[in-house]
Amino acid sequence: MPVLPGDVAAGLVSSIAELAELVERLGDQAVLVDQLQVTRSLLEAWDERPAPPPRPPRKQAPSPAATAAAPPPGPEDPAAALTPSDRKVLAALAQYPEGRSRRQVALLTGYKESGGRFGNLLSSLRTRGLLQGGRDLLSITDAGRAALGSWDRLPTSAELGVYWREKLPPSEGRVLQVLLEAWPDMLAKADLAAAAGYEPSGGRFGNICSRLRTLGLIEGTAELRVVDELCS
């Protein structure tokens, strides 16, 4: 590949000719003269080479303004993104068009009302526009009903009480069963403990009652009863 511009090569040829004449005047330096003549011939030949064909113009990348904008992705199908937990909550609300409280939705779906998982689930559904409302009243939206499609009815009333009794560990289930049988009456803690086979002042019985209260299944302190949603 030639690397010397034409004017540079011509200048070198002229300089070499002058050097050759100078060497001849200085003395018999045949070898040096021959080398200078060879170099001169090569440079003259290089200078007389045909001009290389012009390079094709470099393709310019289209400007951002000229590039057609890609169409935005279509909206995600809400039904395709529903998890089993999503469907359970939406089904609970779908069977109550008038809405349910947060505690009632937790009871219907088997979640701990104050649990982080249940809170995150409600927040996700609300953000996606599938349910609306707050702690006092939650209801399904039209978008939520459309995303849910068909659904199986969840247990309510006495069936919900049976659902929770079977879901709980045997100790909690036994205490809950005593209160379910006593509904709508309240039972003193001593009477409840005796009927369930526990010591009223024992720590284990206190823990059982505390867990049932945290789940929203029972209410009261000195006297206890199941919440109405489990029976009525």
Q: What is the pLDDT of residues 54-80, one digit of tens each?
A: 676 666 655 555 445 544 544 455 556
Q: Residue written as tokens 């309240």?
A: 186
DSSP-derived 3-state class of residue 132: strand
Q: Residue written as tokens 């849910």?
A: 148
| Cα–Cα distance for residue pair 100/192, rounded to 1 Å | 30
Measure Cα distances from 124 to 83, 107, 117, 120 in Å: 11, 19, 11, 6
**Which own/partner contact pairs does 8-15 have at CB distance under 8 Å and 24+ positions apart?**
9/43, 9/46, 9/47, 10/47, 12/43, 13/40, 13/43, 13/44, 13/47
pLDDT band at 1 (very low <50, low <70, confident <90, very high): low
More confidently predicted of 134 and 27:
134
More confidently predicted of 14 and 126:
126
Mean pLDDT of 157-163: 90
Neighbouring residues of 193: CB distance < 8 A, sequence distance ≥ 6: 199, 200, 202, 205
Q: Residue written as tokens 């803690």?
A: 189
pLDDT band at 34 (very low <50, low <70, confident <90, very high): low
Structure tokens at 68: 């057609």
More confidently predicted of 224 and 32:
224
| Cα–Cα distance for residue pair 133/136, rounded to 1 Å | 8
CA torsion angle 211 214 215 217 (round to 10): 90
Task: Kindly report the number of other CB atoms within 10 A of residue 14's CB atom.
Answer: 12
Measure Cα distances from 58 to 51, 55, 62 in Å: 20, 8, 12
Q: What confidence tens digit (pLDDT) does each residue in 129-144 have? A: 999 998 889 999 999 9
Of 155, 161, 159, 154, the closest CA to residue 179 belongs to 161
| Cα–Cα distance for residue pair 216/118, rounded to 1 Å | 13
Neighbouring residues of 181: CB distance < 8 A, sequence distance ≥ 6: none
